[in-house]
Amino acid sequence: MQKIKIKCPAKINLTLEVVNKRSDGFHNIKSVMQLISLYDFLYIECYEDLEPKILLEGNSCDIPYDSKNLVYKAAELFLKTTETKNRTVKIYIEKNIPIAAGLAGGSTNAAGTLYGLNELCGKPLTKKELHNLCAELGSDLNVCLEGGTLLATSRGEKIEKLKTIEMPVTLIKPKNLGISAKEAYTKYAAKEFKPQNNMTEKLCNALKNKTDIREFLYNDLEYAVFYDYPELQYIKSKLPDSIMSGSGSTYFVLGMVESPDFSEEYQVISGLKFINNGICAV
């Protein structure tokens, strides 16, 4: 039996701009994504079995542990691609990243599964081939696999490494509110006015010139859903400089801030920072 423990970081979107809708139903985006020091952990076992299967377990009651889970799909895709037969894969998912929160929790777990199985099976796939599988499964997996600060384009799977800076991060999430990517993109598409702020390019220039990036933080999907949820408006009223990550419902604020005073209905995670690495074994 072979075992491995994989460290899967969360991401935030420093910018997220929707370019247009694609023929496949997804949207082309421009986004600067940043990996942060908040992690899920995967405990992966792989062993020979006459009746091979994929078994999932975990510490969260809010995710499925069957073929609906992206981790299951990742394991299935890896076994098929590498033509690995007569192997049972068992994965325990330790969730610390909030769910349906715009932090790529599901994506980083799936990318971590591909990475972990590749390590266990003697690295049959190159880094490029792992990235190809990530792109096949979803939009944020490539970012999580690569790590650091990245410009993501197309539907998020095309990435370019940028300079990573040091920056403290605080997350704030309404405990009882999750927003799906489908809802956020649908509401954005319905907006008659669509801002064209070009904040992604401006933030990339700020990184290149080593100037303050905070004035260029921006998210089109926040604009799409903000007025539908009093919880989001409340976060913004308490922390005006905060920005929503991904499709939400998590907000983040950069730099050193006083510990924000939120009720028990909100989860506050402070003491985080930007990191320059992605998924890895520990």
pTM for the full predicted model: 0.94
45-87: per-residue pLDDT in tens?
999 998 999 999 999 999 999 999 999 999 999 999 999 999 9
Whether 11 is catalytic: yes
Q: Which of 11, 30, 90, 187 is catalytic?
A: 11
Distances (CA, A) of 125 to 6, 78, 244: 17, 9, 35
Percentage of the chain beyond pLDDT 70 is: 99
Query: In 3D, which of 246, 245, 135 has the Cα closest to residue 185?
Result: 246
- Kindly report the average pLDDT of the chain as a whole number: 94
Q: Which of 140, 173, 187, 220 is catalytic?
A: 140
Place of tokens 């098929």: 80
Between β-strands 54-58 and 27-48, what pairing exists: parallel, antiparallel or unpaired? unpaired
| Domains of the chain with bracketed CATH | 1-282 (3.30.230.10)
DSSP for 136-185, written as a single string: HH-SSHHHHHH-SEEEEETTTTEEEEE-----EEEEEEETT----HHHHH
Distances (CA, A) of 226 to 197, 221, 223: 18, 8, 6
Whether 66 is catalytic: no
Position 252 confidence tier, pLDDT thresholds 50, 70, 90: very high
- Checking if the pLDDT of 10 tops 70, the result is yes
